[in-house]
Amino acid sequence: MSYKEILEKVETQLEGEAHLDELASKQQDPFKILISTILSARTRDTNTKIATEKLFKKYNSPKLIAEAELEVLEQLIKSSGFYKVKAARIKEVSNVLINNYNSTVPDDYEALVNLPGVGSKTANCVLVYAFKIPAIPVDTHVHRISNRLDWVKTKNPLQTEVALKKSIPKEYWSKINRLFVRFGQQICLPIRPKCEICVITDICPKDFSMELARKKKKE
């Protein structure tokens, strides 16, 4: 089965819309997408959504966030977890955007990863969801599922990104994060994946060596 067919099949089994997809389809404000992606670290989509909406109701530009009281920012984004670190981070990023990019979000990978605290995944999310530039944001779901499917044999998300880009045609890059994040939350779960109801169970090699190696290391 081709990459295209697998991705199409996976899409038929997904429910709801990912938070970033929802944001991108509504207004595509690159600043909101960047900030929301920073807030999404280590939390659920629902928490990110609440924090983003609360924050942007009050402060919706780099200038407003840069000038806001840190404690107020912390309270607004509290639902996203790690709110002290994240509040300081979004203030810092806003200042850099004001000083170096005329208060706009750059549509360039190198510029994005040079923003404070912005890593490869966040930069790629901004490219895909804010600017519709082909990229593969690799989070824990994309990394895990790509290994289970034997699309890659990698040890970390950065390696996965490089390997996927080598083997997958560019026209499908942007679909991978959009689909696999929800697929990883709903079907191909980190623990006890629902292989018995999975739409690609017939073709999936179910390579769990990554998890087994991790388990062995722990023992």
Name the H helices within the chain. Answer: 3-12, 19-26, 30-39, 45-58, 62-67, 70-76, 83-101, 109-113, 120-125, 131, 140-148, 157-167, 173-186, 209-218
Determine if 49 is a binding residue for ligand SF4 (CB under 6 A): no
Query: Which is nearer to ligand SF4, 132 or 206 (by Cβ)?
Result: 206
Query: Which is nearer to ligand SF4, 25 or 209 (by Cβ)?
Result: 209
Binding flags for ligand SF4, 150-189, as an x/- string (CB under 6 A): -------------------------------------xx-
Would you say the C-alpha torsion 88, 131, 19, 137 has a positive or negative sign?
Answer: negative
Binding flags for ligand SF4, 195-214, as an x/- string (CB under 6 A): x--x-xx--x-x--------
Q: Write down the least CB distance from residue 6 to ligand SF4, Å.
A: 9
Rounded to whole angstroms, how far apart are CA atoms 108 and 120? Answer: 12
Q: Write down the least CB distance from residue 5 to ligand SF4, Å.
A: 14
Q: Write down the least CB distance from residue 183 to ligand SF4, Å.
A: 7
Q: Write down the least CB distance from residue 149 to ligand SF4, Å.
A: 6
Query: Which is nearer to ligand SF4, 73 or 152 (by Cβ)?
Result: 152
Which of residues 148, 175, 178, 182 is near ligand SF4 by CB under 6 A? Answer: 148
Q: What is the DSSP string of 35-88?
A: HHHHHTTTS-HHHHHHHHHHHHHH--SHHHHHHS-HHHHHHHTGGGSSHHHHHH
Q: Which residues of 14-30 are buried (b: 16+ CB within 10 A; e: fewer)?
A: beeebbbbebbeeeebb
Calculate ∠ Cα 85-139-56, nearest 5°.
Answer: 45
Q: Write down the least CB distance from residue 204 to ligand SF4, Å.
A: 3
Give me the residues that bind ligand SF4 (CB under 6 A), please. 148, 187-188, 193-195, 198, 200-201, 204, 206
